[in-house]
Chains A and B, each alone.
Chain A
Amino acid sequence: MSALSIVAAVLQVVVVLVGAPFVVGGMRQVRARLEGRAGGGVGQPWRDLRKQLRKQQVTPRGTTLVFAVAPAIAAGTTLLIAAILPIFALGSPLDSVADLFGVVGLLFLGTVALTLAGLDTGTAFGGMGSSREITIAALVEPTILLAVFALSIPGQSANLSAIVSATLDNPGQVFSLGSVLAFVALVIVIIAETGRLPVDNPSTHLELTMIHEAMVLEYAGPKLALVEWASGMRLTVLLALLANLFLPWGIAGADPSLLAVLIGVVAIAVKVSVLAGLLAAGEVFIAKLRYFRVPELLSGSFLLALLAVTASYFLATPTR
């Protein structure tokens, strides 16, 4: 662990903090253009955040500490994940503190904090959103952990640096069957976890269809800013994870030079922008799925993840 890999990890957190609203803004802009609208510009989420952060702190009557600290926990877990993941460089000082299972656990910890906050309000909306969110989270878990399993097979480890270096050492395996299936499964899971179409519509405010938005309905001002910031960071971090798990090229090594870290920053910026753009473009063409058809989607992704694991087991290392 060199000084620069610590710098790289700190840089990761800072860049995710600053960059996440731009990712959200970029996705909205892509969508707006494809739908023939002008759009608010890439910087609009940042302007929203600044406005909300200056607003009055409003506490709904009857809520407890859970409601007050949930946004900070959701954001905090995401920032911690940003520090653990190999985004710019391998060998983050926190890499051995938590592996991919730990990262998934942290992700769910953030979800649970917001779910409890939704229940804490004691309104119909809060409960409804929480109930829906936790249902999806519970059904996502098997897929996400099976995908972790599939990814851990080539490197014989669930630690992120090991997985990414295994891919770097053996580029051919990215196009192996197991890897492709795991990729598709992970994409579905990430869409479900970040509340994008077709599982949830992030821009809806119709009570019949809201999931995430219903849960955080009572938040306003600075707390709402933190909730939205956290969900943007979550999307960014997961896209970065997806990018580096399957296309790790450009990432700096475990003992990087300053130039390598800079290249890593540029590489991941390009990869995340492309992925976010593709996701946004895809969303233009699909409608939200009926809530009770989401389990179909998730069971499908579970099947893909299971196939990914078995494929990796059975198709590995041919001799001729």
Chain B
Amino acid sequence: MTTTVLPAAAAELGEGPRTARLAREAIASGLATTLLGALGLVLGVVAIFGPTRHLRIDWLLPLAGVRFDVDPLGGLFIAVTGAVAVAVGIYTVGYAQREHWARFPMVVLPLFVAGMLLVPAAGSVPTFLLAWELMAAASLVLVLSEHNRGAVRFAGVFYAVMTQLGFVMILLALVLLSAAAGGDAFTTIAAHADDMSAGTRTAVFVLTVLGFGSKAGLLPLHAWLPKAHPEAPSPVSALMSAAMVNMGIYGIIRIDLQILGPGPQWWGLTLMILGAVSAVFGVLQATVATDLKRLLAYSTTENMGLVTLALGTASLLSASGAPDVAAIAMTAALLHVLAHAAFKTLAFLAAGSVLAATGLRDLDKLGGLARRMPVTTVMFGIGALGASGLPMGAGFVSEWILFQSLIHSPPDGNTLLALAMPLSVGAVALTTGLGIASMVKAFGVGFLARPRSVAAEDARESPMSMLTGMGLAAAACAVFAFWPALVAPALRGVLDALPEVGGDTAGVQLATFLRLPGIDGSLSPALLAVALAAGVLLAFAASRWGARHRPAPVEVPLWACGAETLSPRMQYTATSFAEPLQRVFDNVLRPDTDVEVTHFAESQYLVEKVTFTTRLADPVEQRLYTPVVGAVIALAQTVRRAHNGSVHLYLLYGAIGLLVVLLVAQ
């Protein structure tokens, strides 16, 4: 294991000046990211507990000025982003060296973090949009950092188009808001929100849900996410999947729940449906994905879907006169954002560690990493346990709270609740079940068993800095799995700032025991872990019974169905592992399967070989995007006739345009 953290060490090893420079740059970039992250974490925590802080810099942006108002809600998202950036920064020190990063992405990485830290801090529409664009542009550059691969360029273009589309929607919505409120500060808008016409409110809601939803990876504008997240370098994937998607959630909470809220019932219902569909669709795609990072990216869509479902539940319950249960749903949403940030950072960093060691993302070619890369395996295991929503995992507590809020809606409520809640429970439960299957596949096929390729066989454990970065994320996962009480004061602070969704009620008591005030229901993750350890010990003790009579243990070859040796080709692959589920959900996934049988020339009864190919495309993308893209291209062809290459003609267009503007302005 090489631990070339210090440039001096690298120079001593006799490696060239190029390596030393790379090491220096990697450390600078990583440290800058970490420091920014730490700063964000501290400021965010301060903002959650302190009064709202204001900062105005009028000269920075002409006419509007830059304005920052950091309140508890913004503080929470700043703190999450900062925490993710700390882990990613340390990790990048080793990763950038191992993957020989160019100078450009190293410079942009801290900028990207800065952009993400500024978004929740923004206090006015122009500042918000500026920070949003900084974040979007920086992430685009980072996605393109391995631009010599075709897949990366395609993903980059796709991402660029969709992120700008989302931006336009957000821009329209925010412009509408400021026009209706007569001011561009969020505080002004919030003060005038109740006077706005129903039409404006509806338009803003639809536009923001689409725009912010696209950033959070929600259907139907999710298609960029499973393309861009996997193609980006892994630390960037971690930042995008664990921190950037949260900005979409932040936008929905800020604009639709806080400023415009409490909304009518159908707003909540829309969010619930969008969330449920995204969650189930995301997890289904994750279940059948064979690319490790693509699987994790779809899992992001799934988890953001769950968060949105929780937000919708909070909104619907609040509109139906059950603010105390709404507060529980809101707690679930916020806690899940935090937990998801922890386990998704860890999972992406571990996947990056595998990618750096083997050059592989394809689960069908991985395997056997547990022996070659034990620490990375354990780290991915912790992340996967969190993502599967099982007890002892980081995602369990928030999903448990979500279930509690779903089953405790008032029994004599309206039909809407009586129909929405059971269906939501079904959707969340299906998501959890399939999530378990997808994570078992990722961990079991990717890390256990025997290597399925030479590259996986020659894997080597990652350097110390990468392991440290993962270790930090793993520690965060442990907090959410066993001691979520640690973040309870922060959640309380944020909830207090959200009276629109029942934030002024008692909410959830997060201590050793999680209790729901007014509702009979409790859980204690820490005691559960202790009790489980006792149970496992007892089971172990029971199996030691009669151990004195046993002969000495031996190691024997595995059963190979009578064949001489067991070859790695006999193993189940990720594709075969997910095949039953793919078949069950055939109608939704619509796989494209070809079976080609080649016969011997001598006889058509003897089969020479059978080729089986199956392709799984994103059905939503195929059905929805292809026609739209086709229409856009057709339109572009029409417009193209106006471009004949003559400079004079273009000048004429310009002149006519100017004239028209002058005339209209009259």
Contact = CB atoms under 8 A, between A and B. Distances in A.
- Are chains A and B native binding partners rather than an unrelated pairing? yes
A124 B571 contact: yes
Contacts of B367: 122
Contacts of A135: 437, 580-581, 584
Contacts of B571: 122-124, 127
Contacts of A65: 370
Given A80-B532, A134-B440, A141-B429, A72 B552 contact: no
Contacts of B540: 72, 76
A1 interface: no
A162 B520 contact: yes
Interface stretch (B298-306, B384-392, B492-500, B607-615): B384-392
A19 interface: no
A61 B520 contact: no
A250 to B, nearest CB: 24
B566 to A, nearest CB: 6
B546 A121 contact: no
B277 interface: no
B583 A292 contact: yes
A interface majority secondary structure: helix
B407 A149 contact: yes
B628 to A, nearest CB: 33
A64 B577 contact: no
Contact of A218 (B524, B527, B558): B558
A229 interface: yes
A124 B556 contact: no
A144 B436 CA distance: 15
Interface stretch (A34-42, A151-159, A251-259, A268-276): A151-159
Contact of B550 (A54, A230, A316): A54
Interface stretch (A23-31, A103-111, A168-176, A198-206): A103-111
A77 B528 contact: no
B264 interface: no
Contacts of B561: 124-125
B174 to A, nearest CB: 39
Interface string A108-129: 1100100110111111111110
Interface string B166-209: 00000000000000000000000000000000000000000000
A73 B450 contact: no
A64 B549 CA distance: 25
Given A60-B558, A123-B558, A313-B418, A128 B572 contact: yes
Contacts of B605: none
Nearest to B427: A142
B575 to A, nearest CB: 10
Interface in B538-595: 538-540, 542-543, 545-547, 549-561, 566, 568, 570-572, 576-581, 583-584
Nearest to A152: B407
B576 A131 contact: yes
Interface in B479-535: 513, 519-524, 527-528, 531-535
B581 A130 contact: no
Contact of A97 (B392, B418, B430, B524): B524
Contact of A120 (B392, B433, B449, B537): B449
A109 B550 contact: no
B338 to A, nearest CB: 19
A91 to B, nearest CB: 13
B426 interface: yes
A17 interface: yes
B543 A120 contact: no
Contacts of A106: 391, 528, 532
B554 A58 contact: yes
A141 B528 CA distance: 21
A118 B411 CA distance: 44
Contact of B535 (A76, A162, A222, A309): A76
Contacts of B577: 119, 127, 130-131, 134
B254 interface: no
Contacts of A162: 520
Contact of A96 (B368, B425, B524): B524
Interface string A54-69: 1111111111111001
B433 A139 contact: yes
Contacts of A56: 550-554
A229 B432 CA distance: 28
A146 B406 CA distance: 11
Contacts of B392: 109
Please tell me the size bucket of the interface on B.
Answer: 35 or more
Nearest to B526: A97
A198 B392 CA distance: 32
B450 A131 contact: no
B402 to A, nearest CB: 10
B433 A66 contact: no
Contacts of B584: 135, 139, 292, 295
A306 interface: yes
Given A139-B433, A149-B425, A101 B400 contact: yes
Contacts of B404: 101, 158
A236 B536 CA distance: 18
Given A108-B436, A122-B558, A159-B522, A131 B370 contact: no
A164 interface: no
A127 B406 CA distance: 36
A217 B559 contact: yes
Contact of B539 (A62, A230, A310): A230
Contacts of A221: 550
Contacts of A105: 389-391, 396, 400
B418 to A, nearest CB: 4
Nearest to A309: B422
A174 to B, nearest CB: 19
Nearest to B423: A306
A243 interface: no
Given A116-B443, A119-B445, A144 B429 contact: yes
Contacts of B287: 138
A237 to B, nearest CB: 12
Nearest to B446: A119
Nearest to A221: B550
A317 to B, nearest CB: 8
Given A116-B444, A123-B571, A142-B429, A73 B576 contact: no
Contacts of B473: none
Given A138-B436, A149-B425, A57 B570 contact: no
A271 to B, nearest CB: 24
Contacts of B426: 142, 145-146, 302, 306
Contacts of B443: 116
A29 B408 CA distance: 44
Contacts of A109: 390-392
A62 B576 contact: no
B371 interface: yes
A97 B437 contact: no
B434 interface: yes
A140 interface: yes
Interface in B292-323: none
A223 to B, nearest CB: 7
B572 A127 contact: yes
A71 B535 CA distance: 12
B558 A138 contact: no
Contact of B543 (A123, A142, A225, A306): A225
25 contacts: A71-B539, A76-B532, A79-B539, A80-B534, A94-B531, A96-B513, A101-B403, A102-B523, A106-B391, A106-B532, A112-B390, A120-B370, A122-B367, A122-B368, A124-B572, A127-B576, A132-B580, A137-B437, A138-B433, A141-B430, A145-B403, A149-B421, A159-B522, A222-B543, A313-B418
The 5 A-B pairs with the shortest beta carbon distances in the complex, nearest first, are A127-B572, A141-B433, A76-B536, A119-B444, A75-B539
Interface of B: 287, 367-368, 370-371, 388-392, 396, 400, 403-404, 406-408, 411, 418-419, 421-423, 425-426, 428-430, 432-434, 436-437, 440-441, 443-445, 448-450, 513, 519-524, 527-528, 531-540, 542-543, 545-547, 549-561, 566, 568, 570-572, 576-581, 583-584
